[in-house]
């Protein structure tokens, strides 16, 4: 009986997530200082795609939806999907359900890149901050990967240790820059490190959407290899899998995905850790299901967090990274309590 229920839950997971994501997107484009009826907002979106006149919104309300709230909603969903998928892949690669995308150094490197730009180049144009964050994030990942590689082989434990060491070094660099930063630069850096989607623009949104779709396709191609890797590297090699090529490819793809997400929104924690873990508890460890459901659940969770960020202290707005931390920390406590009961 329990097996039948579990199978039914797995079949309903994707349709339910798609429905919730659709409802959440309507709520997102309707929420803000200017409240808009969700059905009218939907009609406005349909009007832009078809000649039908379904909405009676004023022109300024249409502009708000099309140029502010729609790119913001889509960016939140794309970023959530990117972080969740990369988290699922990292957890499979490290064979640890508590692994995080930041383990390969992208987040710490990106934070250092943003700090360098904000503190040392205050006159730089606005787009220089995400560009600097992206370049530093990828550079940090390359450095960590080279430190963990020897004689053509990459050690996962060494990759983890190198990530911790480089993250600590990047943290020291950020601390030094905080010490010498002006008040304005210090505030900008603090806000960037807490994550924000308020500055969403169509170029960043389209780039993030393209990255999410592209990585989803590429990750799905390696789903069976990741399943085999869960058995151990030697077992995966016996099954004919090029484990070295697989690790190299997945680390690079995750670095690209997380780098684009961090460059567009700043550092948003817990999505890449919590979402794949929750999905795995419901649907199991098979990556062809895990990746699909993690992408949808990550998009849903970050979109909901963004709605809460706009609503909790309205008309002011919280950084969305604080909201995800408030949601993720209790989940960690729940895991600790559950694990303690298992051990005791």
| Residue pLDDT, tens place only, 222-254 | 999 999 988 888 888 888 888 888 888 998 898
Q: What is the pLDDT of residues 74-108, one digit of tens each?
A: 999 999 999 999 999 988 888 877 778 877 788 88
CATH 1.10.3470.10 fits 2-343, yes or no: yes
- Is 128 a residue whose pLDDT tops 70? yes
Given a contact cutoff of 8 angstroms between Cβ atoms, the answer to whether 264 and 75 are in contact is yes
Give CA 275 to chain center in angstroms. Answer: 10
Alpha-carbon separation of residue 223 from 10, 85, 279, 282, 292 (angstroms): 17, 11, 15, 18, 11
Predicted confidence (pLDDT) at residue 8 exceeds the cutoff of 50: yes
Q: Rounded to two decimals, what is the model's pTM?
A: 0.89
Distance, CA of 24 to CA of 35 (rounded, Å)? 15
Lowest mean pLDDT among 18-32, 52-66, 117-131, 184-198: 52-66
What angle in degrees, to the nearest 10, is found between the helix axes of 202-221 and 287-311? 160
Rg (CA), the chain: 21
Band of the pLDDT at 189, cuts 50, 70, 90? confident
How many whole angstroms separate alpha carbon 303 and alpha carbon 321? 12
DSSP 8-state secondary structure symbol assigned to residue 56: -
Q: What is the pLDDT of residue 2?
A: 38
With H, G, I as helix, E, B as strand and everything else as coil, classify residue 198: coil
CB-side exposure of 302: number of CA atoms within 13 Å? 33
Query: Which of residues 292 and 313 earns the better pLDDT score?
Result: 292
CB 47 within 8 A of CB 53: yes
Judged against a pLDDT cut of 50, whether residue 3 lies above it is answered with: no
Q: Are 79 and 265 a contacting pair, CB within 8 Å?
A: yes
């Amino acid at each position: 009986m329990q097996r039948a229920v579990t199978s039914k839950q797995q079949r309903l997971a994707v349709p339910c997530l798609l429905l919730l994501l659709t409802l959440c997107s309507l709520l997102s484009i309707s929420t803000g200082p200017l409240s808009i009826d969700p059905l009218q907002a939907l009609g406005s979106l349909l009007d832009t795609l078809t000649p039908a006149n379904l909405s009676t919104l004023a022109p300024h309300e249409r502009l708000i939806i099309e140029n502010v709230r729609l790119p913001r909603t889509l960016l939140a969903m794309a970023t959530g999907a990117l972080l969740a998928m990369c988290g699922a892949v990292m957890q499979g690669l490290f064979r640890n359900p508590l692994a995080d995308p930041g383990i390969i150094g992208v987040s710490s490197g990106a934070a250092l890149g943003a700090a360098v730009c904000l503190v040392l180049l205050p006159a730089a144009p606005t787009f220089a901050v995400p560009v600097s964050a992206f370049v530093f994030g990828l550079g940090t990942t390359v450095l960590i990967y080279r430190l963990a590689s020897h004689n053509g082989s990459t050690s996962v434990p060494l990759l983890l240790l190198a990530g911790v060491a480089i993250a600590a070094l990047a943290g020291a660099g950020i601390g030094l820059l905080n010490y010498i930063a002006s008040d304005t630069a210090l505030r900008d850096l603090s806000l960037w490190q807490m994550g924000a989607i308020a500055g969403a623009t169509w170029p960043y949104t389209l780039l993030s959407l393209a990255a999410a779709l592209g990585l989803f396709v590429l990750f799905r191609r390696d789903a069976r290899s990741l399943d085999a890797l869960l058995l151990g590297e030697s077992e995966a090699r016996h099954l004919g899998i090029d484990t070295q090529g697989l690790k190299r490819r997945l680390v690079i793809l995750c670095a690209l995905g997380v780098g684009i997400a961090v460059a567009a929104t700043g550092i948003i924690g817990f999505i890449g850790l919590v979402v794949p873990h929750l999905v795995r508890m419901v649907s199991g460890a098979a990556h062809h299901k895990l990746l699909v459901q993690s992408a949808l659940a990550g998009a849903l969770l970050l979109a909901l967090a963004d709605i809460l960020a706009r609503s909790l202290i309205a008309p002011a707005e919280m950084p969305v990274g604080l909201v995800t931390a408030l949601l993720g920390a209790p989940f960690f406590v729940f895991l600790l309590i559950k694990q303690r009961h298992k051990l005791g």
